Structure 1
Amino acid sequence: MWLVKIGGSLFPKYALKLLESLVGKDVMVICGGGELSDKIREYDSKLKFSKTTAHDAAILCMDIIGMLLADLVDKAEAVDNLRDARKLLKNKRIPIILPSKILHYLDPLEHSWSVTSDSISLFFSHLLNSKLLIATNVDGIYTKDPSLYKDAKFIKEINAKKLLSFGETSVDKSFAKLLLKYKTTCYVANGKYPDRIVSILEGKGKKCTIIRGD
């Protein structure tokens, strides 16, 4: 089973197409907070909320995007617990996990902007004992930001220890540390191309970055 994190940068157009392509697959979904959480971060830089308030508000943005996407796809349903998520999957529906309730109860992660929906998705894949695929708006991990540097080189595979030296890339700063802690592997790919995502789920995809924490 896979957990696919649909990056907030893909919402709404690309996120909707990607979600529709996942119908019938052995997949659960969790969503990034997108522009909503970016706005919380912007307000936080000016108004200086407490770390817990900013953290919780950003997580609620993930809930909101998940609810909105679930409303648009017949075979998808938003859920706030893993028991219902597993039931939906057995009935050939796509569970979209709304993380705020579980995270509020377990409180497993640091309250900071170093922890975003990437690390949260990794935590949930650990809970579910599933594979993780992060669908974002770029092809994977680059040596530099490809939107700023023409000489940025695409990385097909990288160890999480090496990724630690990169700072924030297309995954957040805490992600590599968690990957090493859980001793697992993650795939990062471009969600604008649903066929690429489906190919990876089927074990055929090549256009992605594999991050190894084992």
Structure 2
Amino acid sequence: MADSRPECSICYSTYDNVFKTPKQLDCAHVFCLECLSRLRAVSLHLKKDDITCPLCRHPTSVPDAGPPALPTCPDLLARLPTHQRWPEHVWLEGQQLCYQCPMGSAGRHSIWICVDISASAQRSPPRPSRVHRRSLGELIRLKGWKRLALLTLLMAALVCILFWQLRCAFSVSSYTCLQPDRDVTQTPAISISTFTPPPLFHQPSE
């Protein structure tokens, strides 16, 4: 069965009750808290105090506490799993969204989880994936495989040519197919005639 959980139309991530909490703008469009926080950081970088909806371009004023204080969409929150239907406390710590996650069965210990939502972090180019990195030894081995493949193709072509020549020779019981054809019309014909010289002395007849 396909997952019917709603997702953010900006990052296409499913909603939850932490950083992906569905937040509603004044135009009734809903996006996740993390995406709206990033839009807010871009707006502040452009000297703007509101958030512009990416769908209808309608501005929405942001509370003093930042995007986490925007109203949560109750309809989308009700469609989440039971343990995610109550939004957790997420606050804005400078240029980061932070959440205090309890640890242990009794919740005596906790850790802070923060996400960078600054405008500079969005403009930074993505890091190259490790999957596409190749060492020098791998490139050398790759070139060796290419040479081996080319040599194999050449050997196969040579074997095919020799096999065809031998098959031709055995089929016609001669080696005429092993020799190049000659154009006999271009070879001048040589005629050999015998010449009998006359006798030096005439013998009288009796």
Report the TM range for the smaller structure's normalisation. Answer: under 0.3
More contact order relative to length (CA 8 Å, sep ≥ 6): 1
TM-score by length of 1: 0.22
In terms of fraction of residues, the more helix-rich structure is: 1
Q: Give the TM-score normalised by the residue count of structure 2.
A: 0.22
Structure index of larger Rg: 2
